[in-house]
Each structure stands twice: as structure tokens, then as C-alpha cells.
Amino acid sequence: MRKPTLEEVAIEAGVSKMTASRALRGVADVSSETRDRVIEAATRMNYVGNRLALSLSSQRTNLVAVVVPSMSNIVFPEVLAGISAGLDGSGMQAVFGISDYDMAKEREIIRDMLSWQPCAIIVTGLDQPEETVELLRHANIPVIQLMDLDGTPIDFNVGLSHGAAGENMAEALIAAGRRRFGYVGSALARDLRARKRKAGFERVLHAHGLGFAGQRTDDVFSSIALGKQLTTSLLAAVPDLDCIYYSNDDMASGGLFACMELGVAVPDKMLIAGFNGLDLVNSLPAPIATSRSPRRAIGEAAAQLVRQAVGIGREPMRKTIVFKPTIVGIDG
Amino acid sequence: MRKPTLEEVAIEAGVSKMTASRALRGVADVSSETRDRVIEAATRMNYVGNRLALSLSSQRTNLVAVVVPSMSNIVFPEVLAGISAGLDGSGMQAVFGISDYDMAKEREIIRDMLSWQPCAIIVTGLDQPEETVELLRHANIPVIQLMDLDGTPIDFNVGLSHGAAGENMAEALIAAGRRRFGYVGSALARDLRARKRKAGFERVLHAHGLGFAGQRTDDVFSSIALGKQLTTSLLAAVPDLDCIYYSNDDMASGGLFACMELGVAVPDKMLIAGFNGLDLVNSLPAPIATSRSPRRAIGEAAAQLVRQAVGIGREPMRKTIVFKPTIVGIDG
DNA sequence: GTGAAAGCGCTAACAC
DNA sequence: GTGTTAGCGCTTTCAC
């Protein structure tokens, strides 16, 4: 039992394919009587339109391709939720791919998605290899690069400067009187934005004649458990730190739990600083510092850019949307 | 500057469309010399195949539609990551939609996705309204229902029994000597699986002549902050509880933080029990009980089912894959 | 090993 | 207000 086609619906309703098409889409003039008959027939036959044919024929799709590096912490799911919500009501549909922070895999996913002829593509970061950039350029659709502003965008760019985020955090911590800094991170080889934050942080430390008195990193991806473990190890080796900067809030929360277990007073003796501003951080048993990144808003802004870019207007658009993270959790 | 078509590549390589198609797909016999010439031309012209045309023509797609209710905690992103990973190498591509726990929205998303002619569809839960079930039935593709086993599946079913999870947790807590129970939950009107866990939990309480001595729920979605707030409120009203069951681990973690703030000893005076077995729970400063649900494994199992179901074999397949959560975090 | 013809299910453009 | 013709870019089928 094959699925009914538009033609079968049309025959059932006693009209031509074209009239049925117009009635179902609600375009142009179709007598309300005819329209009702077509819609009735379609409903009765459980007709579901074939978007492959629709898009091939009309030479446009409602697909927005989105590639994110990971789904293993809440950050990118929130971005996706923002994109999905921002696209609601536009008739457009997001299609997601996960690259696992793997540049080669990202390229293959992008190639695959482009073959579906999306009307726009959203990718994470500004540091795609040249071959991937070429692929994106030749697609002739709006390309939106998310999250990071430190680099040269292909087309549109929505996010924040991770270098500046690291710098600002270092300045705030120094202003709060901290001097003996440690660093705890993960997967820095793959997570370029974490690396940019660390680099920014160190630039400011060096400008003040300071540096990291100790650090711990690992190649696996960030988690609370890893943050706890690396912090315990770091404090065993360098006990006299008064502040630790983490690659993100997951790691920082683990750091807090390590300090609690070791009896290190947070924030009095040790200030813990992360990045993201996760919901988690607001409820933790001791305050930790973090830069609040508007993840959902970044997703929504990207969706708005897509809507404008594929819209009829084509009026001049802002090419870059800058978000500035707010630092929270530092007293004095 | 339009994108090159297969025909243009074929002309460039001096062969027919058909030969170019075969060369690019690596099917049938094409002389290696011809093949190289075609591939060279395609690469030089930045040719990206048009899957709309491919799928329309061949009457099959590589799309697997997936609908999840939410992206606002880590649970469903992990399921999606499992599906995505499980599909890797199959040539199939997952397409995600978010229903926001809204049945009407879910139906529209499913309708929309079906119009892309996916080769299989994965949805969350067993409690779709009749109209949605009809839609899925008429699609004539494998339908996989995820997460929940308490109900009648349309086709394939992968997950765990939430009723049993609630029952088992209640039994374990009673066996551990707890008697004065409280409940803290959120969005129970929408989150049917949380409701099933609560119902199972209460069945066992009643069988033991017990019940909830107090409860707090709210309509907003679960979060650590909400768990903390509701727990504080519950303990103000009913201070003599010795155990609180939460709708999930996010809420339970908030409950732990509330207890810490109030100076209530966990787990000695108060046992905190959640659901999911999040990574977070293992690192918390005090042990809380939880049922560990294999979210990623459920996603991977669903992907395996899809691979088999759309595979050529069509040998008899298991229709249901049962996972059993393990309870952790209860001593004695 | 390669090519020509037909057609997938729909819409655009134009006619009536 | 409705129908006709042509064609989107590819694969299938069959011929050579």
C-alpha cells in the first residue's frame, strides 16, 4: 500500500494536480468550495506531501543545516534549542549534525548536509580548515559561524570573543586580590575556544608579571568528575594557590567539590572561576565565578539572521552580532 | 553562479550523465580510467550531489527522523548523541526535532518530518494521541518509540519501565529503613514518565501502609534551582522527613544543596533520591540515590534497530529492547 | 563498459 | 478559477 500522491488526491477530488496543489498550499485563488473538497480528500486519504519533490521542483528548501561539535554538555543543546525556537513559525526546519570536535568529520557532515540543498548553514567556530571553508563558500547560501568572534568569518558571525572573556576574567580576579593562579582544563587540543580563553587569561597575567603557578589538563572531554580529579591532583602538588581558572563550569564545579572534600574554603581561601554561566552554578553550595555566555540567545540570534538572510527583503544586514559575557560570582 | 549538476560534470568529463553517476557512486562497472576522469572533473568543479533529486529518483532516503521532547537537560542530548553515533557509517543521517513536551507540536513536527520521506522515525514515549499514532502508522516506515516501556508500542520499543523504576526505588529506600517520605517534582502535567515513576513509587509506599508525608511540585521544567527552592519550602512545612523522592537528578541535586544550606545531614538524617544517574551525581559533596538510566545506550540501540529494520535482511527482529536501571547511592 | 529514454512527485509559467 | 506543459537533477531500466 503506497502512500497517496498529489495526483491521486486530485483525482479523488475531481480536479487537476495543479488545483489540488494550490488548494493544499492555500496560495492563489481557488474557490472555497474546491478547496474544501481537495482538503477533505487529502485528509481522508492521509495524504502527506512529498517535500523532496516540492523542493526539487521549486528549487528551494526549508532546511537549515546546523553543525555543533558535541552534545555531551548542556551548552550546545541550549544553542540548538535557541535555533529551533528562533526558527519556529518560519516554516524552516533545523537539521543537526555532531562533529565530535573532529575537523574531518565536520567536513563530511557539512558535505552531506549541503547535498540536501539547505537554505542556510550554521556551523560552530571560525577555525575550519581551508577545504571546509571552500565547501561552504561554494554552497552559495548564507553561512553563519557561531560562538566565536576571534577570527575571520566567511559570511555572518554570532558569538563572543573568547580571548576577551579570558582577559576580562583574569582582570576581575586580579582586581579581587588574587595572585597565585592555577589552571585546570580538558581537551584543549580540540576545544579551540577554551584555548582562546586560556590564552587571553594568560596575556593579562603576564601583563601583571604573573603566570600560572601550576596547571593540570587532560585529553578527555570536560566533566564534573574530571574537574574534581584534576583539582585534587593540582592542589596536592601546588597547595598554596588562591585561585584556579577552569576551561568551563563543569570542570569548575568539580573543582569546587574537590575543595570541599579537601577542606579548602571557597571562596575565602580559594576562588574558583569557570566559563559558561550554567544553571548549576547558581545553586552550588559555595559561590564560584563564571562568565555567563548567552547560549540560547546566540542560537536565537542565528535563527533571526537566517530568517532575514533567506527573506525576500535582502536589505543590508548586520554581518556580526556581538555578545558580551557578564562575569558573576566575584565579591569585592 | 549556479551549482554544477551531474550533467555538467559529465560533459566536462566527456561522458554521459549515467556514466558519471555510476563513477561517482562507485557502482557497476566503469573503467577505472573513466572513473578517474569523472571524479577529477567533479572535484575540480566542487560538485556536490543533489540528494533531493537522488532520493526522489531512487525512492529512498537516508534520513532518520527523531523527535525528542526537550533539550534543556542533558538526558535527551545524550540520547541523540547515541543515535547519531549508532548511525555512523551506515550512510544514514538523523534529523532532530524538539516538541517541548507539547503533543500538538509533536504531531506537527512528525508530519513535517514525514514529508521528507525518512526511512525510519524515532519518537519519545508511548503515549502519543490517537491522531499522531495514525500519522505514524500511515507512514509505512519502521517506528521506534524510545525511553518508556509502559504502554503499547506501535512497532519497535526501546527503553525502560518507569513504573518499575519508581517501585524499585521505593523498595530500596524502605529496605534502607526510611519511613517519612516526601516528594518534589516539576512539570508533571507534561512529563508522563516522571508521573509513572511517581505512581510506581506510591504503589509500593501504599503496599507498606505508607504514603508521602508532604510534596511540592511546580509547572515549570526541572532544574537544580527549582529543586533547591521546592525542597526548602517542603522542609519548612514538613521538617521531620527522612527521605525525599525527586522527579529527576537535577531536582534532587538542588534538594541536596538545600539540605546543605539548612544544615540537614545527607544521607544520615535525609536520604535524597532522584532519577537518571547523571554524571553530576557521582561528584556531589554528599551521596544521593538515583536510578541509572542508560540514555546513550538507548539511543545506540534505537540506531541499531533502524539499521536492521531498513536493512535488506528483514529477518525477524526483536520488537522490544528492555533496559533495566540500576539503583546506586544507597548504603545498607 | 556505456548511453538513451522514462519517470520519481511536485511547482512555475503560461494559457484559457 | 482552473488546466496544460515543461522541467527540477537524479536513478532505473533496458538497449547496445
pLDDT, tens only, A169-222: 999 999 999 999 999 999 999 999 999 999 999 999 999 999 999 999 999 999
Contact A115 B50 (CB under 8 A): yes
pLDDT, tens only, B3-37: 899 999 999 999 999 999 999 998 878 888 999 99
Nucleic strand C within 7 A of Cβ A58: yes
Whether the predicted pLDDT of A138 surpasses 60: yes
pLDDT, tens only, B250-280: 999 999 999 999 999 999 999 999 999 999 9
AA identity, residue A311 = G
What's residue B2's pLDDT? 75
What's residue A105's pLDDT? 95
Contact A3 B140 (CB under 8 A): yes
Residue B331's pLDDT band (cuts 50, 70, 90):
confident
Contact A84 B97 (CB under 8 A): yes
Arithmetic mean of pLDDT, B217-246: 97
Residue nearest to nucleotide C8 (CA to C1'): B57
Query: Closest Cα of chain B to A154: distance in Å?
Result: 17
- C-alpha closest to that of A66 among A54, A88, A82: A82
What's residue B78's pLDDT? 97
Measured over all CA atoms, what is the biggest interatomic distance in chain B, rounded to whole angstroms? 85
Q: How many helices (H) and strands (E) does chain B have?
A: 13, 12
User: From residues 80-139 of A, which are strand C contacts by CB within 7 A?
Assistant: none
pLDDT, tens only, A229-238: 999 999 999 9
Question: pTM of whole model > 0.85?
Answer: yes
Contact B97 A97 (CB under 8 A): no
Cβ atoms of residues B103 and B132 within 8 Å: yes
CB atoms within 10 A of CB B294: 19
What's residue B1's pLDDT? 64
Cell numbers standing for residue B244:
525525599
> Residue B56 CA to nucleotide C16 C1', Å?
32
Q: How far is CA B66 from CA B78, B80, B323, in A?
A: 13, 8, 20
Q: Does B201 touch chain A (CB under 8 A)?
A: no
What's residue A169's pLDDT? 98
pLDDT, tens only, A269-298: 999 999 999 999 999 999 999 999 999 999
Name beta bridge partners: B271: B243
DSSP character at residue A294: -
Whether the predicted pLDDT of B289 surpasses 80: yes
Q: Which candidate from A76, A80, A117 shows the least CB-CB separation from B52?
A: A117
In percent, the amount of chain B with pLDDT more than 70 equals 98
Tell me, letter by letter, the H, E, C secondary structure of chain A. Answer: CCCCCHHHHHHHHCCCHHHHHHHHHCCCCCCHHHHHHHHHHHHHCCCCCCHHHHHHHHCCCCEEEEEECCCCCCHHHHHHHHHHHHHCCCCCEEEEEECCCCHHHHHHHHHHHHCCCCCEEEEECCCCCHHHHHHHHHCCCCEEEEEECCCCCCCEEEEECHHHHHHHHHHHHHHCCCCCEEEEEECCCCCHHHHHHHHHHHHHHHHCCCCEEEEEEECCCCCHHHHHHHHHHHHHHCCCCCEEEECCHHHHHHHHHHHHHHCCCCCCCCEEECCECCHHHHHCCCCCEEEECCHHHHHHHHHHHHHHHHCCCCCCCCCEEECCCEEECCCC
> Residue A120 CA to nucleotide D3 C1', Å?
35
pLDDT, tens only, B114-137: 999 999 999 999 999 999 999 999
Residue numbers of B between 55 and 84 with CB closer than 8 Å to A: 55-56, 61, 71-74, 76-78, 80-81, 84
Whether the predicted pLDDT of B314 surpasses 70: no
